[in-house]
Structure 1
Amino acid sequence: MDTSSLPSPWPQGATTLTYTGGCHCKKIQFEFEHPDIYSMTALECNCSICESRGCINVYTPVEKFRFTSGSHDEMTTYTFNSHLVQHRFCPTCGVSIGALVPSYTPQDKFKLTQGSEDEISQYTFASHIVQHRFCPTCGTAIGVLVPSYGYVGINARTVDGIDLERLQKNLTKVNGRELTLSTTEDGGELKPSVSWDNTGRQ
């Protein structure tokens, strides 16, 4: 994944360190790769869920996040509003670990021989995560586009040995109360985009 597309982009060619963390009861423990956390910008979001949990978030590509105890399946998932972001927490002690944020990448072996992604109509419902695609002229169903998860937002409070006072020196506040998530096509890849209005929440 191109780390320049993370909410807090990594410097090009940045050297990464391995950080560890976990919940209070230690059922969920993890490690992840990230440039020096104190040299990066952490994000404090004021959306309704982040504000209630007091989260300060750092971000890493999903392939650079690994469980050393527990798994995604062992965590409880909570979604709201757009239902695109999966907020994860330990079902035993309730500590918020972070969130999975989706990206939509078409299968490499699927190619349109006529028409384009822009010419296909799409329909979503309920969770609004799966995109149902159909021909806008005849209505024939082409198929569905199912997201993979591109990056992980990690609650920095769960990182072992974190110095929150030091981290807050590079803290950026994000107005998540006016943040909505949608998907746009960028270079053949459908990915979440950020737009601002007066009503949306994550």
Structure 2
Amino acid sequence: MHLIATVAKHALHLNRRAAANSSAKPIPSPTNSTMTTMTTEQKRYGEYDGGCHCGYISFSFKLSPPLEEYTVINCNCSICRRMGYLLIYPPYEDVTWHKSSKERCSVYQFNTKTMDHLFCPKCGASICIDLRSHEPKRYGISARTVNNIDLDKLSYKKIDGVNKVGPAADLSGLEHGGKAEA
């Protein structure tokens, strides 16, 4: 849980810095009530569609700043590596799930069980992390699920999650380092 909160805070910091380098004013921290908040007209947004490989799960979202200015998080922790996550963090209110897609998703939880890792039950595509227990509430959407983007043209920040968080407990029920006895 600590790693995701750290990654989310880092992503917010990087994206505020990117916004500050544009003509827009910096986006205020949600914890700093002394700053004035930006109006929707002042923020620059990109609008995107995404979904799983088979089309069973679909969604759309707004992102500020737009993806071409956004810093995508590339974490090397065990769950991010195995799920293939390259994460972007739109707020809950900026994500629209189509045709009850969120309810259609299968859910994987581990360790503290405070985050849902959503994936398609038909094709298995990893969609996102539901960061419902963090403020502000956000989704960690896998950039790999966003339609019509070139992943090679995005900016990335590598996060060393493997050395910041201990390994998750083995829940497989298998003995001897994950190998079944013969």
- Give TM-score, length-normalised by structure 1: 0.60
Distance, in Å, in 2 between the alignment partners of 1:50 and 1:30 is 21
Structure 1 partner of 2:11: 8
Report the counterpart of residue 157 of structure 1 in structure 2. Answer: 144
The 2-side partners of 1:97 and 1:6 are apart by 21
Is it true that 1:18 corresponds to 2:47 in the alignment? yes
* TM superposition shift of 1:6: 4.8
Is the CA contact 1:75–1:91 (under 8 Å) kept in the aligned structure 2? Answer: yes
1:102 and 2:132 are equivalent in the alignment: yes
CA RMSD of aligned residues (A): 2.0
1:161-202 deviation line (CA, Å, top 9, x unaligned): 1101101xx21111222445xxxxxxxxxxxxxxxxxx266x
Change (3 A) 1:31 1:79: same
Moved over 3 A (4+): none
Letter in 2 for 1:8: A
Tell me by how many angstroms 1:156 deviates. Answer: 0.3
Q: Secondary structure at the match of 2:132?
A: strand
The aligned residue for residue 36 of structure 2 is none
Distance in 2 between residues matched to 1:66 and 1:82, nearest whole Å: 27
Structure 2: which amino acid aligns with 1:82? T
* Among candidates 102, 109, 112, match of residue 72 of structure 1: 102
Deviation by residue 1:1-60 (Cα, 9 ceiling, x = unmatched) = xxxx75412432531121001001111100001021021110011111110122111111
Alignment of 1:52-67 (within 5 A): 52-67=82-97
Return the alpha-carbon distance in structure 2 between the equivalents of residues 7 and 64 of structure 1: 20
Which amino acid is 1:61 matched to? P
Cα deviation code 1:67-126 (max 9, x no counterpart): 123332210110111212210000001001011113367xxxxxxxxxxxxxxxxxxxxx
When normalised by structure 2's length, the TM-score is 0.67
* Larger gyration radius, structure 1 or structure 2: 1
Higher strand content, 1 or 2? 1
- Hey, which of these two has a bigger chunk of helix by percent? 2
**Residue 51 of structure 1 corresponds to which residue in structure 2?**
81
SS, match of residue 60 in structure 1: coil
Taking only the aligned residue pairs, the percentage that are identical comes to: 34
